[in-house]
């Protein structure tokens, strides 16, 4: 229902403002397809499927650095957020495979692969990817000691909300001057100017936004940039600018739906919380980048969510107990 509402609302706002909803529809389709594939593969191969997905993601990040065919826009912000997001999802999938494995050697191999993904992020020059992969590894280790997944899920939701709120506060100059100056050095002035343009457009068109894919036409900063991708490099602010308040609510509802599905998942708590940590890290990256504009990232997010919420077939049919007592010892009616 949430994904359907997101697709429908993008069509409505596009019709009103002559926008282009193709990107939103493709992202919704990618998440849905990834989620369905994850549920199926997770039921059949709860260990091999996330491992294979992680290896495919690493191969894509190494072999296709831009994560998309065609002309590439690398300046001034580029695709660093998408690379970090993809590597983070790979690390989360590998950790899930480690927790799902029953034999200690296989679990050790999966853990080693997760560490290798983190090192790969550093080797590719993705500082944010290295940080988020490390955070996922640490959260996965901590998940093994947690018995209440509800508390962990609530904590992840709080982290995602804080990052989104911080992004909004930076765009609105609501932070102390010293903190804002420090963040500008990390985020770059260009990115913050894009955020301010998005917030300005959101204030002017709070109900319906300006229409999907129209930010690049109306943003002063984007139009002054020689090689602009037309994105504000923040999923929250892009939704606010292009689809209004309802778009932001639907984006938040999508994350809440994923976390709720993880909370109700039949998989072990370490698997659930590890996947939740990786998806929360993705939400944090998307709040300050254009990561969700890449189909590979959307598919990976849906795939990881599906793998972590699948019910393995081996658990659906518990083995029947066979009575091996001599016939004379059995109770008969």
Q: Which residue reads 């300005």 in tokens?
A: 200
pLDDT tens figures, 10-19: 999 999 988 8
In this model, does residue 68 exceed pLDDT 60?
A: no
Where is average pLDDT lowest: 88-92, 162-166, 289-293?
289-293
Report pLDDT for 185.
79
Among 3-12, 67-76, 266-275, where is mean pLDDT lowest?
Answer: 67-76
DSSP-assigned letter for residue 125? T
Q: What is the DSSP string of 224-263?
A: H-SS--S--S-HHHHHHHHHHHHHHHHHHHHHHHHHHHHH
Instruction: Provide, rounded to the nearest whole percent, the portion of the chain with pLDDT above 90.
Output: 68
- List, for residues 299-317, the tens digit of each pLDDT value: 999 999 999 999 888 654 4
**Rounded Cα distance, 88 and 21, in Å:** 28
Residue 268 has pLDDT above 90, yes or no: yes
Higher model confidence: residue 58 or residue 229?
A: 58
Report yes or no: 96 and 304 within 8 Å, Cβ to Cβ: yes
Name the one residue in this structure whose structure tokens are 């939400």.
283
24 within 8 A of 7, measured Cβ to Cβ: yes
Mean pLDDT of 222-238: 84
- pTM, 2 dp: 0.89
Compute the average pLDDT of residues 262-269.
Answer: 94
Tell me: pLDDT of 104 over 60: yes
Evaluate whether 78 touches 289 at the Cβ level (below 8 Å): no
Arithmetic mean of pLDDT, 85-92:
95
For the chain, domain boundaries: 2-67+75-313
């Amino acid at each position: 229902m949430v994904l359907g509402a997101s697709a429908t609302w993008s069509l409505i706002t596009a019709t009103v403002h002559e926008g282009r909803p193709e990107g939103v529809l493709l992202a919704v389709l990618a998440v849905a397809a990834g989620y369905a594939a994850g549920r199926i593969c997770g039921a059949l191969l709860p260990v091999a499927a996330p491992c294979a997905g992680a290896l495919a993601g690493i191969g894509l990040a190494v072999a296709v650095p831009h994560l998309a065919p065609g002309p590439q826009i690398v300046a001034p912000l580029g695709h660093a957020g998408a690379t970090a997001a993809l590597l983070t999802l790979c690390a989360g999938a590998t950790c899930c495979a480690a927790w799902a494995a029953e034999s200690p050697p296989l679990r050790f191999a999966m853990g080693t692969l997760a560490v290798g993904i983190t090192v790969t992020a550093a080797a590719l020059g993705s500082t944010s990817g290295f940080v988020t992969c490390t955070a996922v590894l640490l959260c996965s280790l901590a998940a093994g000691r947690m018995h209440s997944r509800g508390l962990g899920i609530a904590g992840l939701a709080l982290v995602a909300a804080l990052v989104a709120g911080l992004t909004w506060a930076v765009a609105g100059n609501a932070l102390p001057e010293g903190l804002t100056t420090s963040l500008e050095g990390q985020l770059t002035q260009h990115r913050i100017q894009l955020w301010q343009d998005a917030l300005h457009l959101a204030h002017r068109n709070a109900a319906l936004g300006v229409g999907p894919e129209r930010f690049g036409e109306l943003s002063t900063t984007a139009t002054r940039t020689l090689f602009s991708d037309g994105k504000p490099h923040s999923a929250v602010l892009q939704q606010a600018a292009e689809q209004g308040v309802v778009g932001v609510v639907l984006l938040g509802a999508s994350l809440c739906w994923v976390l709720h599905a993880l909370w109700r998942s039949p998989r072990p708590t370490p698997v659930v919380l590890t996947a939740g940590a990786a998806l929360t890290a993705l939400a944090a990256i998307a709040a300050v980048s254009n990561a969700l504009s890449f189909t590979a990232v959307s598919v990976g997010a849906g795939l990881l969510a599906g793998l972590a919420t699948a019910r393995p077939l081996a658990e659906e049919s518990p083995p029947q107990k066979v009575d091996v007592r001599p016939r004379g010892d059995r109770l008969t009616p």
